[in-house]
A and B are shown apart, each in its own frame.
Chain A
Amino acid sequence: MTDLDILTHLGEIAARPRPQMGTPPLEAALRLNNGSPLMVFPLDEVGDALDLPGIVPVSDPDFANVTLIVHGDDPAATTAKVETAFEFGQRAAIWDAAGDLGLIEGLLASTVYIGNLAAIDTDLARGLSVVLTPLRNGAAFRRCIAASILTQWVWEKSVRAEVERLYGTQIADKNMPRALMQTRARLGAWLERLRRRGLRCALESVRFDSGRTDSLRLKLVG
């Protein structure tokens, strides 16, 4: 055992000023990361989408912090790219602007250990902010990835329509317990599948701010 003092490093991160709520995620992540940029190797054509603060596109995956995979319309092709990136020891982040639920089914059907993804998001800047921050590992990271999948894919592309069909977009108070139960049952079932692929957390609570279906809030624990 050496006398390396890890607490110094952790303390340094903890001592950084916390970005104010509402700060754009990438900006906040850059601040927490002391302004160090993120080298991104885009495996797919992204145009000028990587023209973002703190993001440096590179053409060689060996010099990148993360390989960016853009999901098109073929879940099998996207998951195959992730599997290949993992085989080469690269970190892989997925950007799926359309929020294709088939992608999540595809990941669950593949050999990809979803907990090993660097990020998965429908918003590129927000996804890269997850890669950039000290959030990179541990329980907070797993909760972040699970929340991303549950809210942006499962809720938006499946469960939301079921809830709105029964209760509308503005849920009446008398219907709220049933709407919450329904949401928890359906999202919980997906989380159960995700748990087995590395996202070991549980859904502690679900709520809708102001009773509106466009304001789903999840609390994940574990």
Chain B
Amino acid sequence: MRKQWTNEPFNIAAARAETLDASWYLDPQVYELELERIFARTWQAVARVDEVAKPGDYVATDAAGEPIVVARDGSGRLRAYYNVCPHRAGALARGRGSRKSLQCLYHGWTFGLDGQLLRAPGMDGTEGFEPACFRLHEIRLETWGPYVFVNLDDDAPSLAAQWGDEFVRQTGVTLAGWRLVERSEYLIHCNWKVYMDNYAEGYHVPFAHPGLNREMSLDDLYVDVHPYFSTQRAVVRPSSQGNPNKRRYRNPQPGEQIRYHVIFPNFMIDDYPDNLSVNILKPVSVDQCLLTFEWYFKTDHDQQTIESMVKFADEVQYEDIEICEYVQQNLKSRSYQRGRFSARYEPGVHHFQALVHAYVNELPNPFLTVEHP
């Protein structure tokens, strides 16, 4: 059943709000608006700093559906450009590697890693051609932890000002001192927001994640909401509850927490007592998204612990994918239009959906301008 996009006002109070209409998850028009108004206007993780560690290193990537190349120039400065030649829109880079310049794969125009046009063969007779006017189009770039972020919006606040500083202040998470040990990607057959909604609440844990439910209790689940991110936190269950042999955390310290952070729109951090994993979700189409999962451990962990934790997280991951793919199908049902939030457990979903609604409608961030109830 085809559903017309219904774009109604969104209530800023989770206890009174209805969820986004199902059409938001199904309509290609909404998807296009989200690329333009959310993904092109927020900080997007597009590469890892270690992929462009040395001068000359580059990586071709994308954000908000735009081809991008990230490169470290001769002075060691990281830069990002649209991966589009200003001559006739050829690609400047493919894959990743190390070069002193970027050469268009179409007609060979060559650019310095500082974006300056160095050589444009065959342009001698072209009247009024000014090489200086054909610099590569540079994109704003910042790093946070091991990630390179870009923002296609020249007017957006800096990453640090938007959420970086506040996130570190509130959570203490910096990703410094952690070692990347594993990386997986998953193509999920659902709208990107279905996955984000699911991630932003632990309400489903007792029903969908039996393994995870042994580690944390809904009774101790709290949600903190900030303008650009939310955090769910739960105390690790004491091992006396349930079979300790089936537990990941057999001897939790008093007050030890599991936390899940959602940084709008698509950057998530699973924050376990002994490891972190970063989830980056990239929309592929209105009903598909690509999830990159990266696991980080402190350097002193043994391989067995790492493998068991990755296995644990991987199982949780597939449980979530299954749910999300079902939800995507069911959102098409003529029986469903929109739902309500659990005021106790789903403020994170409400926060996420409120931001989606605000960005798509080009409204101010409601969590900046209104006292949150």
The chain A residues found within 8 Å of chain B, CB to CB, are 108-113, 162, 165-166, 177-178, 181-182, 184-193, 197
CB distance from A3 to the nearest CB of B (A): 34
Q: A113-B94, A165-B311 are in contact. Are A181 and B318 (CB under 8 A)?
A: yes
The complex places the Cα of A190 from the Cα of B185 at a distance, in Å, of 8
What would be 19 A-B contacts, judged by CB atoms less than 8 Å apart? Answer: A109-B95, A110-B94, A110-B97, A162-B314, A166-B315, A177-B322, A178-B322, A181-B322, A182-B318, A184-B187, A185-B318, A189-B184, A189-B185, A189-B290, A190-B185, A191-B187, A192-B185, A192-B284, A193-B185
Q: How far is the CA of A178 from the CA of B186 in the complex (A)?
A: 14
A interface secondary structure, majority? helix
Cβ-defined partner of A181 (8 Å) among B105, B185, B321: B321
Using Cβ atoms and an 8 Å threshold, which residues of chain B touch A165? 311
B54 at interface, CB cutoff 8 A: no
Q: Is the CB of B187 within 8 A of A185?
A: yes
Quote the shortest CB–CB distance from A161 to chain B (angstroms): 11
Complex CA gap A131/B136 in Å reads 40
User: Per a CB cutoff under 8 Å, which of A108, A111, A177, A189 touches B187?
Assistant: A189
For B67, give the chain A residue with the smallest CB separation: A196
Are B96's CB and A185's CB within 8 A? no
Tally of contacts, chain A with chain B, CB under 8 A: 55
Residue from A110, A113, A186, A193 within 8 A of B186 (CB atoms): A186
The reply to whether the CB of B325 lies closer than 8 angstroms to some CB of chain A is yes
Q: Is the CB of A186 within 8 A of B94?
A: no
Expressed in whole angstroms, the minimum distance between the Cβ of A101 and any Cβ of chain B is 13
Interface size on B, residues (CB 8 A): 22
Complex: how many Å from CA A108 to CA B322? 29
- Given the known interface contacts A184-B187, A185-B188, A189-B185, the answer about A178 and B318 at a Cβ–Cβ threshold of 8 Å is yes
Q: A112-B95, A181-B318, A185-B186 are in contact. List 16 more A-B contacts (CB 8 A).
A: A108-B95, A109-B95, A109-B96, A111-B93, A113-B94, A177-B322, A178-B322, A181-B321, A181-B322, A186-B184, A188-B186, A188-B187, A189-B291, A190-B185, A192-B187, A197-B94
Residue of B nearest to A202 (CB): B288
CA distance A188 to B291 in the complex (A): 11
**Chain B residues in contact with chain A, CB under 8 A?**
93-97, 105, 184-189, 284, 290-291, 311, 314-315, 318, 321-322, 325
Q: Which of B184, B187, B311, B325 has the most CB of A within 10 A?
A: B187
Q: Hey, which chain B residues are within 8 Å of A189, CB to CB?
A: 184-187, 290-291
Could you say which residues of chain A place their CB within 8 Å of the CB of B95? 108-112
B97 touches A109 (CB 8 A): yes
Contact, CB under 8 Å: B325 / A186? no
| Complex contacts, A110 vs chain B, CB 8 Å | 94-95, 97
- 5 tightest A-B CB contacts, nearest first: A188-B187, A189-B185, A185-B186, A189-B187, A109-B95
A184 to B322, alpha carbons, bound, how many Å?
Answer: 11
A111 lies within 8 A of B290 (CB):
no
Q: Report A87 CB to chain B, min CB distance, Å.
A: 12
Closest to A158 in B: B184
CA A113 to CA B91, docked complex, whole Å: 12
A166 to B315, CA, bound (A): 9
Please indicate which of the listed interface residues B93, B290, B318 has the most CB atoms of chain A within 10 Å of its own CB: B318
CA distance A192 to B284 in the complex (A): 9
Which residues of chain B are near A182, meaning CB under 8 Å? 318, 321
CB–CB A111/B315 < 8 A: no
B residues in contact with A192, CB < 8 Å: 185, 187, 284, 290
List the B side residues contacting A185 at CB < 8 Å.
Answer: 186-188, 318, 321
A153 vs chain B, min Cβ distance (A): 15
CB-CB under 8 A from A190, the residues of chain B are 185
Question: CA–CA, A185 to B315, complex, Å?
Answer: 13
Assembled-state Cα–Cα distance A186/B291 (Å): 10
Report the minimum CB–CB distance from A123 to chain B (whole Å). 26
Whose C-beta in chain A lies nearest to the C-beta of B318?
Answer: A182
Q: Tell me which residues across on chain B come within 8 A of A108, comparing CB atoms.
A: 95
- Among residues of B, the one whose C-beta sits closest to the C-beta of A162 is B314
B186 partner residues in chain A, CB cutoff 8 A: 185-186, 188-189
**Taking the nearest CB of chain B, how far is it from the CB of A81, in angstroms?**
15
> Which residues on the A side are within 8 Å of B189 (C-beta)?
184
A197 partner residues in chain B, CB cutoff 8 A: 94
A186 vs B318: C-alpha distance when bound (angstroms): 10
Q: Compute how far the CA of A186 lies from the CA of B96 in the bound complex, rounded to whole angstroms.
A: 22
